[in-house]
């Protein structure tokens, strides 16, 4: 019997490259047919065949209060009646700027746009305009959206210039991007000793969620902060994923480190397209129309998207929201570890706030290289067994998972029961 998922996927591939509008959705890494969804409510999703799932992707993070939260939906419906867009300022944008500044005080000034990619791209341009320097530094395995200069892999050897990681990126663009190993403090010191005064900015995921979950060594982040200050390089925390998720004030509040600039996305739009970048006022004053760094957007600060974000951010300010989210996520990973242990499977897991990582290796990895040691075949088998049981995990061994406030004890128990079965079949 052909499922509606299969039919839709076959037809989609005729008209949409790979059948998807973002590559990881295609299930290439795990194999099989991607699921086409038609409804979500709270922690649950339903696909086009009517099958129900417990969702651990949460649209890659934004759905932190659960799908179709009645207050978010109502707020969006109400504001939509006043028109979907003006291309002119609204009071809602000011409300959002005030709220961002309150929750993430290092963002003294902020500008809204429509995606995380735009936020990081614009933060980098601003830092180049501010410093008058071209070189940027990123870390291996960190993802900062799909702009040209950020799709770069490490060259051979330390301190070499980057090479493009994607077709269509000129080598001359990638050459300005230097790539270092995450959590490698010595490599950082070496690079700054050699090129520190030529570096416009360092961009980093302060907790990495794009090569599965990797936790920073606090001393690594502190050294990074000191070196950037010493050499006048702009430190950008890319909190598109971690913002409002690992802590109400983001990873910078969790680790008590103040970046010069911050980028936001995902949760800040509550499921609609919103991104933001901001930071020190002297840096942000470089932006047009006050400064000479150009940045713009037809739908930037869109009233409907901003309203979905404002309502979501209002809900997550409830007392103990993040304490409860973290506790629920911990319950999940402890249950998964116990289930793997019982089945004798080599497995580990950890969480930060409402983000978690699952690894088919003994220790929780601390770098891209270590992450690559995780047993991909085991993950893929585990993924499909969980999917059969109605548990929807990220379709790749190298993605983080997300818990929402809607995930109940029953959801966690059902997930652990499914995992027992999955681990035992390995
Ligand atoms: C998702 C993500 C981005 C890109 O955001 P988009 O909205 O997909 O463009 C950038 N940085 C990080 C850390 C992300 O997780």
Distance 265 CA to ligand 1 centre (A): 7
pTM of the entire structure? 0.97
Q: Is 328 in the pocket of ligand 1 (CB under 6 A)?
A: no
What DSSP designation does 160 have? Answer: P
Residue 204's CATH number: 3.40.640.10
Residue 229 and residue 223: Cα distance in Å, rounded? 10
- Among 297, 315, 333, the domain boundary falls at 315
Decide: 314 and 103 in contact? Cβ < 8 Å: no
Q: Is 239 in the pocket of ligand 1 (CB under 6 A)?
A: no
pLDDT digits (tens, 9 = 90+) for 167-202: 999 999 999 999 999 999 999 999 999 999 999 999
Q: Is 210 in the pocket of ligand 1 (CB under 6 A)?
A: yes
Phi, psi of 119, rounded to the nearest 5 degrees:
-60, -45
Residue 319 and residue 305: Cα distance in Å, rounded? 25
Domain shared by 293 and 345, yes or no: no
- Atom in ligand 1 nearest the alpha carbon of residue 142: 13
Residue to mutate (ligand 1; options 145, 208, 275; most atoms within 8 A of CB): 145
Residue to mutate (ligand 1; options 24, 25, 57, 120; most atoms within 8 A of CB): 120
Domain shared by 252 and 268, yes or no: yes
Residue 162 and residue 150: Cα distance in Å, rounded? 10
Domain shared by 244 and 129, yes or no: yes
Q: Is 205 in the pocket of ligand 1 (CB under 6 A)?
A: yes
* Domain tally, the chain: 2
Low-confidence ranges of the chain (pLDDT < 50): 158-159
* Per-residue pLDDT at 158: 47
* Per-residue pLDDT at 2: 76
Contacts of 344 (CB under 8 A, 6+ apart): none
Three-state SS for 270?
Answer: strand
What DSSP designation does 197 have? Answer: G
Three-state SS for 411?
Answer: helix
Residue 65 and residue 69: Cα distance in Å, rounded? 7
* Per-residue pLDDT at 1: 60
Q: Is 145 in the pocket of ligand 1 (CB under 6 A)?
A: yes
Residue 153 and residue 169: Cα distance in Å, rounded? 12
Residue 48's CATH number: 3.90.1150.10
* Per-residue pLDDT at 227: 98
Phi, psi of 333, rounded to the nearest 5 degrees:
-70, -35
How far, in Å, are 44, 194, 380 from residue 63 at the CA level? 11, 43, 25
- Atom in ligand 1 nearest the alpha carbon of residue 210: 15
Distance 116 CA to ligand 1 centre (A): 4
Distance 252 CA to ligand 1 centre (A): 17
Supply the Cα-derived Rg of the chain in whole angstroms. 21
Decide: 101 and 222 in contact? Cβ < 8 Å: no
Domain shared by 105 and 16, yes or no: no
Q: Within 13 Å, how many C-alpha atoms sit on residue 398's CB side?
A: 17
Pick the closest to residue 403 from 209, 218, 202, 236 (CA basis): 209
Residue 15 parent element (H or E): helix 4-15
**Lookup result for tokens 């067994």:** 385
Pick the closest to residue 207 from 108, 354, 379, 360 (CA basis): 354
* Per-residue pLDDT at 160: 53
Decide: 188 and 220 in contact? Cβ < 8 Å: yes
* Per-residue pLDDT at 161: 65
Residues spanned by the domain of 415: 4-64+320-425
Active site residues: 143, 238, 266
* Per-residue pLDDT at 144: 96
- Atom in ligand 1 nearest the alpha carbon of residue 116: 5
- Among 315, 341, 368, the domain boundary falls at 315
* Per-residue pLDDT at 10: 96
Decide: 215 and 352 in contact? Cβ < 8 Å: yes
Domain shared by 329 and 236, yes or no: no
- Among 315, 331, 348, the domain boundary falls at 315
- Atom in ligand 1 nearest the alpha carbon of residue 242: 13
* Per-residue pLDDT at 165: 84
Residue 213 parent element (H or E): none
Domain shared by 196 and 326, yes or no: no
Residue 336 parent element (H or E): helix 321-343
**Average pLDDT score, the chain:** 96
Decide: 400 and 209 in contact? Cβ < 8 Å: yes
């Amino acid at each position: 019997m052909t499922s509606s998922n299969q039919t839709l996927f076959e037809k989609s591939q005729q008209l949409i490259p790979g059948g998807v509008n973002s590559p990881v959705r295609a299930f290439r890494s795990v194999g099989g047919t991607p699921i086409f969804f038609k409804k979500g409510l709270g922690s649950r999703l339903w696909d086009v065949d009517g099958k129900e799932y417990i969702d651990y992707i949460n649209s890659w993070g934004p759905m932190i209060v659960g799908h179709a939260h009645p207050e978010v939906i109502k707020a969006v419906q109400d504001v939509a009646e006043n028109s979907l867009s003006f291309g002119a300022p609204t009071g809602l944008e000011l409300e959002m700027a005030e709220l961002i500044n309150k929750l993430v005080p290092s963002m003294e000034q902020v500008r809204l746009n429509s995606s995380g990619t735009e936020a990081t791209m614009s933060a980098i341009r601003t830092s180049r305009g501010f410093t008058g320097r071209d070189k940027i530094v990123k870390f291996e395995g960190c993802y900062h959206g799909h702009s040209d200069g950020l799709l770069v892999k490490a060259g051979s050897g330390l301190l070499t210039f980057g090479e493009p990681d994607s077709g269509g990126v000129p080598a001359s663009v990638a050459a300005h991007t230097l790539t270092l190993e995450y959590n490698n403090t010595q490599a950082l010191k070496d690079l700054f000793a050699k090129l520190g005064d030529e570096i416009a900015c360092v961009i980093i995921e302060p907790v990495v969620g794009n090569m599965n979950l990797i936790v920073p060594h606090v001393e690594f982040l502190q050294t990074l902060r000191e070196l950037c200050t010493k050499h006048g390089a702009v430190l950008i925390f890319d909190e598109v994923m971690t913002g409002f998720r690992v802590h109400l004030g983001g990873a910078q509040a969790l680790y008590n480190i103040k970046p010069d600039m911050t980028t936001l996305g995902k949760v800040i739009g509550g499921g609609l397209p919103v991104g933001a970048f901001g930071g020190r006022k002297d840096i942000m004053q470089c932006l047009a129309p006050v400064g000479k760094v150009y940045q713009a957007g037809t739908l930037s600060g869109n009233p409907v998207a901003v309203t979905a974000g404002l309502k979501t951010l209002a809900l997550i300010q409830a007392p103990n929201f993040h304490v409860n989210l973290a506790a629920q996520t911990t319950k999940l990973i402890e249950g998964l570890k116990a289930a793997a242990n019982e089945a004798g499977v080599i497995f580990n897991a950890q969480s930060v706030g409402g983000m978690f990582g699952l690894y088919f290796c003994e220790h929780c990895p601390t770098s891209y290289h270590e992450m690559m040691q995780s047993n991909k075949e085991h993950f893929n088998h585990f993924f499909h067994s969980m999917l059969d049981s109605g548990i929807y995990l990220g379709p790749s061994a190298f993605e983080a998972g997300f818990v929402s406030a809607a995930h109940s004890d029953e959801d966690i128990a059902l997930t652990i029961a499914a995992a027992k079965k999955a681990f035992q079949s390995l």
